[in-house]
């Protein structure tokens, strides 16, 4: 298993003994002071080869155990990761790309990319002997934690704002989580979750503040590299809400370079809805030379998983994306809707609107020439359209009604 050598503050750079701090840098606080898990890349790089991971024969993210903070012996049964990567040849040719890959992370246990983070976070909870977990979120992260805690047989406490969508809350309850509907804002729910977790000893998996999240999320990059047999796409597109998924993916590619397993990273591009673009704006300010600071903006988009106004992982997301030479792009809701309808029709993958946004971002970057003709690109599908079918299918035409006669089929076909 992996042996972290330090937990390092992403803002002040101070290093902490691994596991001596659970969440964020005490000096920089919970928003600026998120921690990075650091390994001895030099020593690991001498040992690991492209074949190292396949040899484990684990069809899950635990094939990268040596690059993870906890060992597979702490993992629960649910199989996170080792999701398929599809080569989309026809679509690539139409778009003028020399290759297009789609990584379908809707095929995780609770149907989202968040299962990668949860798999590692719940393993860490078990390693640390914590007997319960907690999380503030109404979305994929909460569902994921509830599912993994059910598999682990440990209690799960979820904090949501009182007006959270009923179907999502119902699914949390189905997984046996104790759901607190907080009569207040999302931020009040987030803070109450932190406070209650400290008071009752629950291991808090809330976005960004738990350094295990990015460790789990980096495995999507490692898999893409392995599944493409060492090829690194020129561009990688990732939907961005809180900033943790893209931080993980960027870190994964960077680690491959540090380990000597890849020569370069792809240019990683974050895609945000134009109505919820706090990190894209922070990135623009960073390019102008401003310091990277936590952001707080209004957020409005139909893509609920990336409808985030006060993202929790701004510093990592901006810094890590910049390190890959990538950037951010924003897309309109109409583009997200169109992308969400094109993906299932063209490649048979039914993505949630937030995930479709990544494909919309690809189209936008191709139109603007940022991604040149002949490039190679990969798109991360981070969640299933089954979680919000109505959001994806809005405005599609209905079926063709016919009497039960062959002639009616013929007539309908000739129209």
> Does 334 participate in binding a copy of itself (rule CB under 8 A)?
no
Can you name the residues that pair with 235 across neighbouring β-strands?
A: 267, 377
To the nearest whole angstrom, how small is the minimum distance from the Cβ of residue 15 to a copy of itself? Answer: 32
> Does 160 participate in binding a copy of itself (rule CB under 8 A)?
yes
CA distance 148 to 348: 28
Positions in 189-208 near a copy of itself (CB under 8 A): 189, 191-192, 195-196, 199-200
> Does 128 participate in binding a copy of itself (rule CB under 8 A)?
no
Binding range to a copy of itself, per CB under 8 A, among 109-117, 235-243, 258-266, 321-329? 109-117
Binding range to a copy of itself, per CB under 8 A, among 86-94, 214-222, 264-272, 365-373? 86-94
> Does 57 participate in binding a copy of itself (rule CB under 8 A)?
yes
CA distance 155 to 133: 6
Closest to a copy of itself by CB, 8 vs 63, is 63
> Does 318 participate in binding a copy of itself (rule CB under 8 A)?
no
Select from 16, 41, 180, 258 the one that contacts a copy of itself (CB under 8 A): 180
Select from 1, 5, 72, 107 the one that contacts a copy of itself (CB under 8 A): 107
Sign of the alpha-carbon torsion through 251, 253, 258, 261: positive
Closest to a copy of itself by CB, 298 vs 403, is 403
> Does 393 participate in binding a copy of itself (rule CB under 8 A)?
yes
User: What is the maximum span of the chain, computed from C-alpha positions, in angstroms?
Assistant: 76
Select from 47, 51, 167, 414 the one that contacts a copy of itself (CB under 8 A): 167
Closest to a copy of itself by CB, 82 vs 328, is 82
> Does 348 participate in binding a copy of itself (rule CB under 8 A)?
yes
Select from 32, 67, 78, 259 the one that contacts a copy of itself (CB under 8 A): 78
Query: Length of the chain in residues, anyone?
Result: 415
Select from 174, 230, 290, 296 the one that contacts a copy of itself (CB under 8 A): 174
Closest to a copy of itself by CB, 289 vs 398, is 398
Positions in 221-260 near a copy of itself (CB under 8 A): none
> Does 147 participate in binding a copy of itself (rule CB under 8 A)?
yes
CA distance 83 to 342: 21
Binding range to a copy of itself, per CB under 8 A, among 87-95, 262-270, 296-304, 371-379? 87-95
CA distance 413 to 394: 25
Select from 169, 292, 295, 308 the one that contacts a copy of itself (CB under 8 A): 169
Whole-angstrom CA distances from 131 to 44, 73, 156, 159, 214 are: 32, 16, 9, 18, 22
Shortest CA distance to 169 belongs to which of 197, 146, 199, 198? 146
To the nearest whole angstrom, how small is the minimum distance from the Cβ of residue 124 to a copy of itself? Answer: 17
> Does 353 participate in binding a copy of itself (rule CB under 8 A)?
no
To the nearest whole angstrom, how small is the minimum distance from the Cβ of residue 13 to a copy of itself? Answer: 33
DSSP state of 56: G
Work out the angle at residue 385's Cα, subtended by the Cα atoms of residues 120 and 379, and round it to the nearest 5 degrees: 65
Shortest CA distance to 222 belongs to which of 186, 193, 248? 248
Task: Please answer whether residues 25 and 55 qualify as being in contact, where contact means their C-beta atoms are separated by less than 8 angstroms.
Answer: no
Per the listing, tokens 């983070």 go with 117
C-alpha neighbours within 13 Å on the C-beta side of residue 52? 17
Strand pairing class (235-239; 267-273) = parallel
> Does 184 participate in binding a copy of itself (rule CB under 8 A)?
yes
To the nearest whole angstrom, how small is the minimum distance from the Cβ of residue 55 to a copy of itself? Answer: 11
Select from 12, 54, 93, 287 the one that contacts a copy of itself (CB under 8 A): 54
Select from 129, 263, 396, 414 the one that contacts a copy of itself (CB under 8 A): 396
> Does 289 participate in binding a copy of itself (rule CB under 8 A)?
no
> Does 395 participate in binding a copy of itself (rule CB under 8 A)?
no
Closest to a copy of itself by CB, 54 vs 128, is 54
Shortest CA distance to 59 belongs to which of 107, 11, 18, 19? 107
Compute φ and ψ for 385, nearest 5 degrees. Answer: -65, -20
CA distance 410 to 36: 62
Work out the angle at residue 66's Cα, subtended by the Cα atoms of residues 65 and 67, and round it to the nearest 5 degrees: 90
To the nearest whole angstrom, how small is the minimum distance from the Cβ of residue 31 to a copy of itself? Answer: 19
For the chain, the C-alpha Rg in angstroms (whole number) is 21
> Does 88 participate in binding a copy of itself (rule CB under 8 A)?
yes
Sequential DSSP letters for 354-390 = HHHHHHHHHHHHHHTTSSPTT-EEEEEE-BBGGGSHH
């Amino acid at each position: 298993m992996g042996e972290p050598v330090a937990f390092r503050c992403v803002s002040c750079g101070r290093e902490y003994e691994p596991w001596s701090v659970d969440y964020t840098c005490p000096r920089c606080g919970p928003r600026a002071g998120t921690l990075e898990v650091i390994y001895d890349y030099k020593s690991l790089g001498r040992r690991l080869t492209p074949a190292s991971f396949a040899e484990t024969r684990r069809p899950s993210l635990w094939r990268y155990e040596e690059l993870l903070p906890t060992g597979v012996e702490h993992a629960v049964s649910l199989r996170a990761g080792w999701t398929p990567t599809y080569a989309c040849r026809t679509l690539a040719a139409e778009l003028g790309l020399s290759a297009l890959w789609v990584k379908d992370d809707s095929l995780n246990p609770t149907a989202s990319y968040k299962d990668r983070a949860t798999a590692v976070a719940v393993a860490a909870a078990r390693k640390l002997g914590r007997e319960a977990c907690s999380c503030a979120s109404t979305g994929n992260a909460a569902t994921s934690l509830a599912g993994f805690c059910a598999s682990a047989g440990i209690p799960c406490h979820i904090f949501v704002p009182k007006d959270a969508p009923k179907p999502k809350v119902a699914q949390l309850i189905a997984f046996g989580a104790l759901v607190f509907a907080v009569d207040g804002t999302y931020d009040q729910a987030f803070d109450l979750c932190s406070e209650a977790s400290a008071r009752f000893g629950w291991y808090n998996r809330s976005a960004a503040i738990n350094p295990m999240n990015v460790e789990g999320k980096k495995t999507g990059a490692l898999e893409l590299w392995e599944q493409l047999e060492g090829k690194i796409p020129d561009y990688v597109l990732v939907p961005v809400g809180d900033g943790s998924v893209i931080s993980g993916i960027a870190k994964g590619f960077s680690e491959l370079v540090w380990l000597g397993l890849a020569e370069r990273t792809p240019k990683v591009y974050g895609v945000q809805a134009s109505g919820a673009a706090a990190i894209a704006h922070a990135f623009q300010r960073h390019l102008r030379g401003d310091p990277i600071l936590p952001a707080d903006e209004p957020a409005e988009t139909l893509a609920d998983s990336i409808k985030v106004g006060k993202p929790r992982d701004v510093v990592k997301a901006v810094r890590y994306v910049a390190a890959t030479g990538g950037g951010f792009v924003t897309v309109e809701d109409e583009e997200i809707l169109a992308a969400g309808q094109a993906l299932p029709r063209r490649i048979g993958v039914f993505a949630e609107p937030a995930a479709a946004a990544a494909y919309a971002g690809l189209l936008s970057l191709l139109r603007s020439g940022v991604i040149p003709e002949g490039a190679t690109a990969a798109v991360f599908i981070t969640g299933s359209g089954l979680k919000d079918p109505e959001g994806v299918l809005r405005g599609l035409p209905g079926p063709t009604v016919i009497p039960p006669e062959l002639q009616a089929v013929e007539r309908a076909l000739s129209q």
